Amino acid sequence: MAPAADATLGEVGEFGLISQLVEIFEGDEHVLVGPGDDAAVLRVKHGHVVVSTDLMVEGRHFRRDWAGAVDVGHRAAAQNLSDINAMGGTARHLTIGLAAPADLPVAWALDFARGFAEECASVGATVVGGDVTRAEQVMIAVTVLGQCTQAPVLRSGARPGDVLALTGRQGWAAGGLAVLGRGFRSPRVLVEAYRRPEPPYAAGKEAAEAGATALIDVSDGLLAEAGHIADASGVAIDVRTGAFEVPEPLQAVGAALGADPMQFILGGGDDHALLATFPDAASVPSGWQVIGEVREGEGVTVDGGTYDGPTGWTHF
């Protein structure tokens, strides 16, 4: 018998929830054993297997009054799928750990799963297992496995003389978060960008095939991610603000909040744009924008100088 529409996790129990979640996630030809056993069994044909794990904690990474369950599902999937994208790979399979209070509505958990499945389907990935348990707040742990048919692109390959390029929306989610933090819901396009990012999923493999020397996704902030490339590669990176066209919604939020809209672009995360270095401008694929250059030295500068604004999200 199906549970009542307003049933809670405490009422249906762990296995009652799992039985409903399993119906949402479909397998593919690579899944030999899916949800329901002690572990999944996958078939790997060729290339490199790439793996990443991310956590989302209620109150730290999302708020249920700011984003619906379906949106949280999309966000949780996107941040993990993007990590595989940032290696030049393609995500294939994921597992989810869900911890939640006993009074959380079952409908929330199922809507979360539907949003997660929808985002995975956009790249052809499937959920193959996971776990649920009780906690004082909602916590989500996701592990994603992907495949690179060529050598993965690391953060450590940038060299002096390379150009720095970006693809995907950048700063929109940060603008949406700033709006929500002030108790507003508009511009709606920015709020929706925060709730449901749109990573450029095809661009990672494209960059790898075009000869990208380093690659990373912008999850915590553009300057912060550029710093990771600079540190790993032992180089300096300079970002040029003149390369960016500030979209009207960010200009509007900046004016309303008395903030420089460029800070959303330089310091914002959660859009999951891709940042890469290429040997020269001629090797940058269509759809990417050159926004800076790699030099001898260390650290990240903006327009040749020190930047004193926010550079990105820090977890501690």
Place of tokens 């690579």: 30
Torsion of CA 278, 281, 286, 289, to 10 degrees: 80
Asked if residue 83 belongs to a known ligand binding site, the reply is: yes
Nearest alpha-carbon partner for 92 in 129, 52, 125, 45: 125
Task: Tell me if residue 30 falls in helix, strand or coil.
Answer: coil
Q: 160: cis peptide before it, omega within 30°?
A: no
Residue 242 is classified by DSSP as G
- How far is residue 198's CA from residue 194's CA, in Å, rounded to a whole number? 10
Which whole-number Å values give the CA distances from 222 to 5, 181, 266, 269, 280, in the listed order? 42, 21, 5, 7, 20
For 116, half-sphere exposure in the C-beta direction (CA atoms, 13 angstrom radius) is 32
Asked if residue 37 belongs to a known ligand binding site, the reply is: no
Torsion of CA 105, 111, 116, 117, to 10 degrees: 130
Asked if residue 220 belongs to a known ligand binding site, the reply is: yes
Asked if residue 53 belongs to a known ligand binding site, the reply is: yes
Asked if residue 313 belongs to a known ligand binding site, the reply is: yes
- How far is residue 178's CA from residue 120's CA, in Å, rounded to a whole number? 27
Question: Which residues, other chains included, contact 148 with Cβ-Cβ below 8 Å and sequence gap of 6+?
Answer: 47, 48, 50, 87, 88, 89, 90, 208
Asked if residue 52 belongs to a known ligand binding site, the reply is: yes
What burial class does residue 245 get, using C-beta atoms within 10 Å of its C-beta: 0-12 exposed, 13-18 middle, 19+ buried? exposed
Asked if residue 217 belongs to a known ligand binding site, the reply is: yes
- How far is residue 166's CA from residue 263's CA, in Å, rounded to a whole number? 16
Asked if residue 270 belongs to a known ligand binding site, the reply is: yes
Binding residues: 38, 52-54, 61, 83, 130-131, 155, 217, 219-220, 270, 313
Binding residues for ATP: 130-131, 155, 219
Binding residues for Mg(2+): 38, 52-54, 83, 131, 217, 220
Binding residues for substrate: 61, 270, 313
